[in-house]
Homo-oligomer: A and B are copies of this chain.
Amino acid sequence: MSTPAPATATLLVSCRDRTGLVAALSDFVFRNGGNILDADQHAEVETGLFFMRLRWDLATFQLARPEIEMAIRVLAARYELEWELTYSDVRPRVAVFASKAPHCLYDLLLAHQLGELGGDLAVVVSNHEALRPVAGHFGVPFAHLPVAADDKAPAEARQQELLDQQRVDVVVLARYMQILSPEFVARWPARIINIHHSFLPAFVGARPYHQAQARGVKVIGATAHYVTSDLDQGPIIEQDVARVSHRDDVGELVRKGGELERRVLTRAVRLHLDRRVLVSGKRTIVFA
């Protein structure tokens, strides 16, 4: 996963009736000279939906990319598929939104520098100047877009403009301390990843470490999820926890939690960029 590799294609599909689908897709890859590298599938009992991720080698594949897309379109029509097709050499472009806390941003930037992220960091956007040197140190452009407390619309318009201009595919909220408007969120369905500093659904909303300390929990957590218009209710991609005790005051919870937040967020971003995450209603399927 960490070494450069020849180009591969990844197809994500979901559909209602899968009869014959696996055979049809496998056969499509095989007949055209491809080699299946990963094939993961999941049938969701509650909804009757079927999800699949297929990744194959393009080195010996006999179809050109437009032909592949044409062929998938035909299959999609026959099996009524929702689908998404990507190529490993067309790297997704990521915008990171941050405020003043640097820890999650550093972790993403370092993962990127180490070649551990299957995408590129296009820009760091912040409502403060504080993190400009951090982005600069890693050679990533930084945009300071202040947000007015009483009217966030102009800031969001400038953010959207910047994202369009930078051809951004996914937005990562790395402890970004502003709530995005439903209109903004609606333009980025399953394309905004947030880190919440609790094991959701416990402690939604503000100051979760204070809530955790008051409740006297013995475990704290962090949750990376897609943003929807319901605060802290979006589909969960990844969670992790750490043990705490009565000795840990809020400051210590913040420190231990910060360690969790950064690694949970970076993991979730990596999973998303590797096209391992599908959304089904309020849940995710993660082909890890």
Contacts and interface: CB of A to CB of B under 8 A. Distances in A.
Interface of A: 1-3, 18-20, 22-23, 26-27, 29-31, 35-45, 102-103, 106, 110, 113-114, 116, 133, 137, 199-203, 214-219, 221, 235-241, 245-249, 251-252, 254-255, 258-259, 263, 282-286, 288
Given A216-B235, A219-B240, 10 more contacts: A1-B251, A1-B255, A2-B252, A22-B30, A26-B26, A27-B27, A42-B246, A216-B282, A218-B236, A218-B286
26 contacts: A1-B248, A1-B249, A1-B255, A2-B252, A2-B254, A2-B255, A3-B251, A22-B39, A23-B30, A36-B41, A39-B41, A40-B40, A42-B246, A42-B247, A44-B246, A102-B114, A114-B258, A199-B199, A200-B215, A201-B203, A201-B217, A216-B236, A216-B282, A218-B236, A219-B239, A219-B240
A97 B194 CA distance: 35
A271 to B, nearest CB: 11
Contacts of A219: 199, 221, 239-241
Contact of A43 (B1, B37, B42, B45): B37
Contacts of A251: 1-3
Copies of this chain present = 4
Contacts of A282: 214-216
A225 to B, nearest CB: 9
A51 to B, nearest CB: 8
A231 B22 CA distance: 43
Contacts of A239: 217-219
A22 B28 CA distance: 11
Given A201-B215, A236-B217, A30 B39 contact: no
A235 B217 CA distance: 9
Contacts of A102: 110, 113-114
A58 B26 CA distance: 21
A35 B20 CA distance: 8
Most B C-beta atoms less than 10 A away, residue of A2, A41, A258, A288: A2
A256 B3 CA distance: 14
Nearest to A102: B110
